[in-house]
Amino acid sequence: MDPLLHLRENRAEIERRLGYSFVNEELMELAFIHKSYFYENEATVPAHNERIEFLGDAVLQLLSSDYLYKNHPLLNEGELSQYRSRLVDAKALFGYSEKIGISEFLVLGKGERRQEKRDSLVANLFEAVLGAIYLDGGIEKASNFLFSQIKEQIQSTMSAPSQSLKSLLQEWAQRTHQILPEYVVIEESGPDHRRFFRIEVRLTEQMIGYGEGFSKKEAERNAADDALKKIGPIV
C-alpha cells in the first residue's frame, strides 16, 4: 500500500497514540512525509518534513530548557546544558517515537522503504510531530504532548550520574591499557542544519563502542555509553 494512503487511513489511530487531535490535517501529514517520498511524488505532494522538523527541534530545546530551569533551581548552567542534551539527543528522540509507536506511519520513498529504517529518521520524526503540534495548537499543546510522552525519561535522566561518560571511559582506558580511546567518524549524513553522525570508539584499533547523534559530541557520548555497557562495572 502507498505509505501516504496508509497514513491517511490511520489518522484516528495516530492521533490516539499521540494523545492529540489535529485541527489542520495537512500539518499532521506533513510531519510524516520524508523527503524521499516527496522527491518521488512532487506532482502531488507539496512538501516534506525537514522544515517542520527544524521548527520542532527549536520547540524541543525551548521546552526542555524551560522545564529544567523551573524544576531544578540548584543546577548551574553547565549542568542544565548537560541534562538538556540527554533529553534531546538522537537516542532519546528515537526512544520517544518508539514509545508512542508512530514510526510505522513514516511516509518513505521506495528506495528508503527497501532499506532498514534508520534510527535518525525515527528521531527526526518526533521533532517533526512536535513542530506540527506547535503550529496546530500552540506552545501549551506542544508542552502537554512533550511531557506526557517523556515523563519517565526525564525522571531517569535526572537521576543518572552527571559525570561525563567519556571521562569515565578515558579513566578506565588509561588505568587498564595506558592509552586513550579514539573516536572515529564512520558516517556523516543529513541536511546542513541537522547533520547526523555515526561514530566508533576504538582501543588498540579495536572497536569497543558505537554511537549516533546529531553532533559529534552527542555521538561520541553515546559511543562511550555503549562501550561502558559492554565493559561492565568499572571499579
The answer to whether 128 touches 33, Cβ cutoff 8 Å, is: no
Known catalytic residues are: 57, 127
**Assigned C-alpha cell, 228:** 561502558
Let me know whether 130 and 206 are in one domain.
no
- Identity of the residue numbered 5: L
Give per-residue pLDDT as tens, 139-188: 999 999 999 888 887 877 777 665 578 888 998 899 888 999 999 999 99
- Residue of higher predicted confidence among 63 and 232: 63
Query: Which of 25-29, 47-51, 83-87 is the least confident region?
Result: 83-87
Q: How far apart are CA 35 and CA 48, in angstroms?
A: 5
Ramachandran category for residue 118: left, alpha or beta (phi over 0 → left; psi -120 to 50 → alpha): beta
Whole-number pLDDT of residue 159:
73
Asked whether residue 12 falls in the same domain as residue 123, the answer is: yes
Domain that holds residue 56: 3-159
Domain stops at, among 134, 159, 184: 159
Q: Identify the weakest region by mean pLDDT among 43-52, 90-99, 160-169, 196-205.
A: 160-169
Q: Reply yes or no on whether the pLDDT at 111 is more than 90.
A: no
Q: Which pLDDT value is given to residue 117?
A: 65
Lowest mean pLDDT among 29-43, 71-85, 128-142, 202-216: 71-85
- Residue ending a domain, among 104, 138, 159, is 159
Out of 159, 174, 209, a domain closes at: 159
Helix, strand, coil percentages for the chain (3-state, nearest 5): 65, 10, 25
Q: What is the mean pLDDT of residues 41-47?
A: 92
Tell me if 235 sits within 8 A of 172, measured CB to CB. no
Region 47-62 average pLDDT = 96
Q: How confident is the model at residue 78 (pLDDT cuts 50, 70, 90)?
A: confident
Q: Are both 149 and 171 inside the same structural domain?
A: no
Residue-wise pLDDT tens digits, 188-226: 998 888 899 999 999 988 999 999 998 898 899 889 989
Whether 114 and 188 map to the same domain: the answer is no
Residue 223: predicted pLDDT: 92
pLDDT of residue 115: 73
- How confident is the prediction for the chain on average, in pLDDT? 90
134 & 215 share domain: no
Q: How far, in Å, CA of 146 to CA of 67, rounded?
A: 11
Residues 125 and 212 placed together within one structural domain of the fold: no
If asked whether residues 8 and 88 sit together in one domain, one would say: yes
Pair 72, 104 in one domain: yes
Check: CB of residue 3 under 8 Å from CB of residue 108: yes
Q: Does one domain contain both 172 and 150?
A: no
Residue 163: predicted pLDDT: 58
Please check whether residues 151 and 172 belong to one and the same domain.
no
pLDDT at 47: 95
pLDDT at residue number 119: 84
Counting the structural domains of the chain, the total is: 2
Do 169 and 151 reside in the same domain of the chain? no
* 63, 103: one domain: yes
Percent of the chain with pLDDT over 90: 62
